[in-house]
């Protein structure tokens, strides 16, 4: 029985059923994001194995470019898989996205290095990243919409925040694995083969996640829809609502840029730019993941009480004013303590903003193409902003000589988020009307 149908009969059973549904859908999201982010965490090791070069900068840029290439596939996955999920249902679609992500991860984990098979090695790694990106294009949208549609009245922000919260668990687990590997193995052993261990762990738990997702129930809201659009209809609807999709992309720019800066890029930033130890960088990443996990449901629940708009505006203004100064303070005297304080400050931005933003994005999209619309806006933002944050940060530092230069990129993304919020929540705007009906 669907969780929402239990509420009137047995409130306790309804709460238990909803908790179970949240766990089942976000467990798959955890695995997909765990596999997806490992590539960024082990960028230095992957660069040496698959993209050898006489220049560390060139090697890292190649690796982060391949990392970013996965995000270029997200818009395509958002349209194709998002339309599929809108047509066949949330449950079936989320099983398909999990299958594709697992295929990409297995490929990356098993490909021999450049010294063994030459140029075929980076080519196969690229294919693996493209598969991961194609899958992730609809995964986040599918999970977010599922949570929004099963949420209790007036608690949509709180429920949808658990999509992102599950990602933070993935970040903590991936960083913790890296920390323990760093303790147990030498740097040469990790660079040669140890970095593959977390990828194999991700592959090993795929069957368990499949079992959880197979038992998901379809949402009542999807069942009530009289018409489920086919791919062609989705394309036409997206074109008709391109302004909403574009504004949604700008809304997501702030959250996706902050997220990849404080999680995926942190280990590399700490080691190669700030010259801190690998252990320090990974410990900071673990703390950031825990901090994100705490702030996300707080941001979502607060947005249910006071509205999405005040939170989105306040956080973007704070980010514009303080991102670069905070990173400059860190770069002036790098230390574990300073890096932890600065990244926890940025983590507060991410958690509060994203907790409100995800619910806002589900509310503004047309109901019959909600997954495709959400996924496309999110994927475009990730492809244009977030996914290339490590590469852009590396490039900005190289050309300016300023270790705090990533702060400029984050501030620009915050400006985009502020503009989008003002547009979507203008008087009588689509977001206000949708939020009123939610």
- The parent domain of residue 112 ranges over 11-211+230-437
Residue 158 forms part of a structural domain: yes
What local confidence, expressed as pLDDT, does residue 337 receive? 94
Query: Which residue intervals of 118-241 are DSSP H helices?
Result: 120-150, 156-184, 187-189, 196-204, 206-214, 220-224, 231-240
Residue pLDDT, tens place only, 227-281: 666 667 767 777 787 888 899 999 999 999 999 899 878 878 888 899 888 888 8
How do residues 69-120 score in pLDDT, each as one tens digit? 777 888 888 878 877 777 777 677 778 888 888 888 888 888 898 888 888 8
Q: Check residue 226 and give its pLDDT.
A: 65
Residue 4 placed within a domain: no
pLDDT grade for 437, boundaries at 50, 70 and 90: very low
Q: In angstroms, rounded to a whole number, what is the distance separating the alpha carbons of residues 350 and 259?
A: 6
Residue 43 is predicted with a pLDDT of 72
Confidence grade of residue 438 (pLDDT, cut at 50, 70, 90)? very low
More confident residue, 217 or 76: 76
pLDDT, the chain, mean? 82
Q: What is the pLDDT of residues 167-203, one digit of tens each?
A: 888 888 887 887 888 888 887 888 788 888 888 888 8
Could you tell me if residue 216 is inside a domain? no
Residue 430 has pLDDT above 70, yes or no: no
In a domain, 221, yes or no: no
Supply the DSSP symbol for 119. Answer: T
The first and second tokens of residue 16, run together, are 């238990």
- Examine the pLDDT at 13 and tell me if it is beyond 60: no
What is the C-alpha radius of gyration for the chain, rounded to an integer number of angstroms?
Answer: 21
The helix-helix angle for 196-204 and 206-214 (nearest 10°) equals: 30
**pTM of the predicted protein model:** 0.77
51 vs 197, more confident = 197
Structural domain total, the chain: 1
In a domain, 36, yes or no: yes
CA distance 406 to 394: 8
Summarize pLDDT for 270-328 with one digit per residue, the tens. 888 998 888 888 889 889 989 999 999 999 999 999 999 999 999 999 999 999 999 99
Which of 9-23, 36-50, 294-308 comes out lowest in average pLDDT?
Answer: 9-23
Reported as a single tens digit per residue, the pLDDT across 361-399 is: 888 887 667 777 888 888 889 888 887 888 899 899 999
Residue 175 falls inside a structural domain: yes
Please report the pLDDT score of residue 7 as a whole number. Answer: 47
Residue 178, domain CATH = 1.20.1250.20
Is 224 among the domain residues? no
| Domain presence at residue 218 | no
Highest mean pLDDT among 20-34, 48-62, 91-105, 278-292: 278-292
- 242 burial (CB, 10 Å; 0-12 / 13-18 / 19+) is exposed
The whole-number pLDDT of residue 433 equals 43
């Amino acid at each position: 029985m669907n969780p929402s149908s239990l509420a009137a009969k047995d409130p306790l059973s309804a709460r238990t059923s909803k908790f179970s549904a949240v766990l089942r859908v976000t467990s798959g999201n955890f695995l997909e994001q765990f596999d997806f982010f490992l590539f960024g965490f082990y960028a230095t090791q992957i660069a040496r194995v698959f993209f050898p070069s006489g220049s560390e900068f060139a090697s890292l840029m190649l690796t982060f470019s391949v990392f970013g290439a996965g995000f270029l596939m997200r818009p395509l996955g958002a349209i194709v898989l998002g339309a599929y999920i809108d047509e066949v249902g949330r449950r079936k679609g989320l099983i398909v996205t999990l299958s594709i992500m697992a295929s990409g991860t297995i490929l990356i984990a098993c490909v021999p290095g450049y010294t063994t098979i030459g140029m075929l090695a980076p080519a196969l790694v690229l294919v693996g990243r493209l598969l991961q990106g194609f899958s992730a294009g609809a995964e986040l949208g599918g999970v977010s919409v599922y949570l929004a549609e099963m949420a209790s009245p007036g608690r949509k922000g709180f429920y949808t925040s658990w999509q992102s919260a599950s990602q933070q668990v993935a970040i903590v687990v991936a960083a913790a694995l890296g920390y323990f590997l760093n303790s147990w193995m030498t740097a040469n052993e990790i660079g040669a083969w140890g970095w593959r261990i977390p990828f194999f762990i991700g592959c090993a738990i795929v069957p368990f996640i499949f079992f959880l997702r197979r038992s998901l129930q379809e949402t009542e809201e999807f069942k009530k829809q009289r018409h489920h659009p086919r791919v062609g209809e989705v394309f036409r609807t997206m074109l008709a609502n391109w302004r909403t999709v574009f504004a949604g992309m700008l809304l997501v720019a702030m959250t996706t840029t902050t997220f990849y800066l404080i999680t995926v890029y942190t280990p590399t930033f700490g080691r190669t730019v700030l010259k801190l130890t690998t252990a320090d960088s990974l410990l900071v990443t673990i703390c950031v993941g825990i901090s994100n996990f705490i702030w996300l449901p707080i941001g979502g629940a607060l947005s249910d009480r006071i509205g999405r708009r005040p939170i989105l505006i306040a956080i973007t203004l704070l980010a514009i004013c303080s991102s670069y100064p905070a990173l400059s303070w860190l770069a002036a005297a790098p230390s574990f303590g300073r890096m932890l304080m600065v990244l926890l400050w940025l983590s507060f931005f991410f958690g509060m903003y994203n907790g409100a933003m995800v619910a806002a994005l589900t509310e503004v999209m047309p109901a019959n193409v909600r997954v495709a619309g959400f996924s496309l806006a999110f994927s475009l933002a990730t492809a244009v902003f977030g996914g290339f944050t490590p590469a852009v940060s590396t490039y900005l530092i190289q050309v300016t000589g300023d270790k705090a230069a990533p702060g400029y990129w984050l501030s620009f993304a915050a400006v985009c988020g502020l503009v989008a919020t003002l547009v979507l929540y203008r008087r009588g705007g689509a977001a206000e009307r949708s939020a009123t009906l939610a």
